[in-house]
Structure 1
Amino acid sequence: MARRTRDRRETREFFAARAVGWETRYPDDVPAYAAAVGELGLHTGDRALDAGCGTARAMPLLRAAVGPSGTVVGVDVTPEMLHEAAHLGRGADGALVEAEGGQLPLRDGAFDAVFAAGLVNHLPDPAAGLRELARVTLPGGRLALFHPLGRAALAARRGHELEPDDVRAQPQIGRILAATGWELALFDDSDERYLALAVRAR
């Protein structure tokens, strides 16, 4: 439990220190975000969750996909990121909620789809987090685990080596998704993006 708490605190501290101006660091990511949101197959009136939303970059795209009759909620554990999201006007696209990924204050089956950019590797317990996302998603709903760079390209940018036990690698993420109520439908870990698209098991 102590390690889990420290991980959560470290995540908050990391993003809190970078919240202001976060999106100016990555100004060219919007097309990749738009393409990934498109993979969710959202329709007018659907309900979408932006899990680990950060500055809620995906929320305008999700709002456009579900239209004015749909529902969009962004959840993040870092208050400073949510404050920056509000400063950027993202509250106009949906509700912004502070909550931990493993304990969402949301009812069962509340959403048709979940978008999660850069989330899974920051979860203290990825299995618990993905199980919680399954809980709030309708059977047949979709989950997009996304990053605008693939794992190798991201590691190269940061001067790191790829770790063989990376939770985002296909064998690991496929196994964890299957154990937490999801079926992996598409896996793309190219230089251009990371996308693991899963369907909520019926």
Structure 2
Amino acid sequence: MRNMSDDHTHVQDFFTARAADWDSRFPDDGPAYAEAVAALGLREGARVLDAGCGTGRALTPLRAAVGPSGLVLGADLTPAMLEAAVRAGRGLDGQLLVADVVGLPLRSESLDAVFAAGLIAHLPHPADNLRELARVVRPGGTLALFHPIGRAALAARQGRRITPQDLRAEANLGPLLAGSGWHLTSYADEDARFLALAVRQA
């Protein structure tokens, strides 16, 4: 059985090697990120975390959604990805933290929402990690699990097939979220995007 430090090292190595050219590999994803952020329904002054923010592509639309009085945090396990976010000027849109969803340095119920792009596939312990995201969000707050392409298109890009065990399948994701403090409210798995929205249960 792999231990947690092995998981961390694997994820860090994967993204450190790709950080410098990450944005240039996916230059057309901006509108999809903006649409996914809009689906969160954030209000002016809201407090939101981009969990596994990478190079920070969601930070600018998140800042636009919550306005200057809101709080935008971007957390990622890989310092090289956060450095790329700063180089791209996105550090101006949110506070960047080297942090892991295993244990976030945030107060319980201190946020209104969490945005997570491509995160769920990299979670070492999905139920525990989603429970940690629930811990930092107030009851009634929201979660967006997003990817700029759908499951089938992503699998084809990676040269693999979707398996019945895929955590992002609606039949798997709904119960996983329900057992972690969330209620799945909408689910879209299309060629152009994957977007699951959930509400923090009381």
C-alpha distance in structure 2 between counterparts of 1:12 and 1:49, whole Å: 20
RMSD: 1.0
| CA contact 1:50–1:59 (8 Å) conserved in 2 | yes
Cross-structure match for 2:27: 27
Shift of residue 123, structure 1, vs aligned partner = 0.7
Give the alignment of 1:40-189 within 5 angstroms: 40-189=40-189
Amino acid at match of 2:18: R
* Mapped partners of 2:2, 2:170: distance in 1: 29
Query: 2: distance between equivalents of 1:60 and 1:21?
Result: 19
How far residue 122 of structure 1 moved from its aligned partner, in angstroms, is 0.1
**Secondary structure of the corresponding residue to residue 105 of structure 1:** coil
Counterpart CA distance in 2 for 1:66 and 1:182 is 22
Q: State the identity %.
A: 58
Native 8 Å contact 1:110 1:137 kept in 2:
yes
Query: Is there any run of 5+ residues in structure 1 with no aligned partner, and where?
Result: none
Deviation for aligned residue 1:7 = 2.2
- 2:5 alignment counterpart: 5
Determine helix, strand or coil for the equivalent of 2:49: strand
Distance 2:52 2:171 in 1: 23
Offset at 1:4?
Answer: 3.3
Deviation beyond 6 Å, 4+ runs, structure 1 = none
In structure 2, distance between residues paired with 1:68 and 1:77: 26
Q: Helix, strand or coil for the counterpart of 1:2?
A: coil
Q: Is the 8 A contact 1:101 1:132 kept in 2?
A: yes
Length-normalised TM-score, structure 2? 0.97
Return the letter of the residue paired with 1:107. R
Following TM superposition, by how much is the alpha carbon of 1:5 offset from its aligned partner in structure 2, in angstroms? 2.6
In the alignment, what sits opposite 2:15? 15
Q: Per-residue deviation at 1:192?
A: 1.2
Equivalent residue letter for 2:198: A
Instruction: Report the number of matched residues.
Output: 202
Distance 2:5 2:163 in 1: 23
Match of 1:196 in 2: 196
Query: 2-side partners of 1:193 and 1:84: how far apart?
Result: 24
The two structures have a TM-score, normalised by structure 1, of 0.97
How far the C-alpha of 1:193 sits from its partner, in A, is 0.7
Shift of 1:86: 1.1
CA deviations over 1:3-41 (Å, ceiling 9, x no partner): 433222111100000000211110111111111000100
In 1: Cα distance, 2:177 partner to 2:106 partner: 20
Q: Secondary structure at the match of 2:57?
A: coil
| Letter of the 2:195 counterpart | L
